[in-house]
């Protein structure tokens, strides 16, 4: 992660701990001696792909700066059910205060990485790469997208300010693809911006119109049938990147990849992911 992303992660952790712990962990303070130290294991209870270990480590260290977090895997590693993925040592009170926040983030990120890996494996041997969307939990996008990378996917734009994506509503408002692209190119020139421009299309006619425009780096084929997608790939003929999008699932993705598209965007990687089952268990306390 770059410096800006690290800043976002720290804010996420601070907000999450403030939300969960409030003025303090009453149960932990009442039942555990202040000088007690503990050792806990993070146990993966089902097979999957791990992501977010460094984030979990930061959570524990926020609650106890002297906590020692020892990962046994790196992000992106596949693990089996029953494997210990990390051991953490520190103040027993602090470990329990950090537990839920650390697990919430680690489980969600690992769930995203696990789902992404399944999609990546489903298109293995083809030219296609799996990419994400902006359908992320508000405030958690930096973690959601890091988890996609850990699972072997690639990131689409992070937000509205790092790429132009001309979609159906922009096209309708501008009066067509040609005018929408012209306006975007004029805006980028006026503001000295050098960022990619992608156009969403819903028909071969629109694909041809987009190809006639200057400054385009990618065309999205939105909800194309497989025959139409194959025709579009032939028409585009490697002049720009091709992205397939629209309700693509694990059951349907392989034929899409075999049409020759460069990218397949899948909102389900982040918008409806199931968290991977990971627990924290004390193994000793002194």
Which of the residues 25, 198, 222, 243 is marked catalytic? 222
Catalytic residue status for 167: yes
The answer to whether 205 is a known catalytic residue is no
Task: Provide the CB-side half-sphere exposure for 32 (13 A, CA).
Answer: 20
Q: If residue 166 lies in a helix (H) or strand (E), which one and from where to where?
A: strand 164-166
Between β-strands 218-222 and 197-201, what pairing exists: parallel, antiparallel or unpaired? parallel
Residue of 8, 118, 134, 135 with catalytic role: 135
Q: Which of 110, 21, 32 is nearest to 59 (CA)?
A: 21
Catalytic choice (45, 124, 167, 274): 167
Cα of first residue to Cα of last residue in the chain, in angstroms, is: 36
The yes-or-no answer on residue 100 being catalytic is yes
Q: Which of 8, 72, 89, 100 is catalytic?
A: 100
Q: Evaluate whether 258 touches 126 at the Cβ level (below 8 Å).
A: yes
DSSP state at residue 274: P
Catalytic residue among 25, 64, 144, 200: 200
The crossing angle, in degrees rounded to 10, of helices 226-236 and 204-211 is 20
* φ/ψ (deg, to 5) at 83: -90, 140
Q: Does residue 145 have an active-site annotation?
A: no
At 4, list the tokens.
Answer: 């800006």
Phi-psi region of 161 (alpha: psi -120 to 50; beta: other; left: phi over 0): alpha
222 is catalytic: yes
Active site residues per annotation: 100, 135, 167, 200, 222
């Amino acid at each position: 992660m770059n410096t800006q992303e690290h800043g976002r992660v720290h804010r996420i952790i601070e907000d999450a701990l403030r939300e969960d712990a409030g003025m303090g962990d009453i149960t932990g303070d009442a039942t555990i001696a202040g000088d007690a130290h503990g050792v806990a294991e993070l146990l993966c209870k089902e097979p999957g792909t791990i992501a977010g270990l460094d984030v979990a480590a930061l959570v524990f260290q926020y609650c106890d700066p002297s906590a020692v977090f020892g990962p046994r895997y790196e992000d992106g590693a596949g693990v089996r059910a029953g494997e210990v993925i990390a051991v953490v040592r520190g103040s027993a009170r602090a470990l329990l205060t950090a537990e839920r926040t650390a697990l919430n983030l680690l489980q969600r990120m690992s769930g995203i990485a696990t789902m992404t890996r399944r999609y990546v494996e489903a298109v293995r041997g083809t030219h296609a790469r799996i990419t994400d969307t902006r359908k992320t939990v508000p405030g958690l996008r930096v973690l959601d997208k890091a988890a996609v990378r850990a699972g072997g996917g690639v990131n689409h734009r992070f937000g509205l300010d790092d790429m132009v994506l001309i979609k159906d509503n922009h096209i309708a408002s501008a009066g067509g693809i040609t005018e929408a692209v012209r306006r975007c190119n004029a805006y980028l020139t006026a503001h000295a911006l050098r960022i990619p421009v992608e156009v969403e299309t819903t028909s071969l006619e629109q694909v041809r119109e987009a190809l006639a425009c200057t400054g385009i780096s990618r065309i999205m084929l939105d909800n194309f049938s497989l025959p139409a997608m194959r025709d579009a790939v032939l028409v585009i003929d490697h002049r720009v990147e091709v992205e397939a999008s629209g309700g693509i699932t694990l059951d349907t993705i392989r034929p899409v990849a075999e049409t020759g598209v460069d990218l397949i965007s899948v909102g389900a990687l982040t918008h409806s992911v199931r968290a991977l089952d990971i627990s924290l268990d004390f193994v000793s306390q002194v």
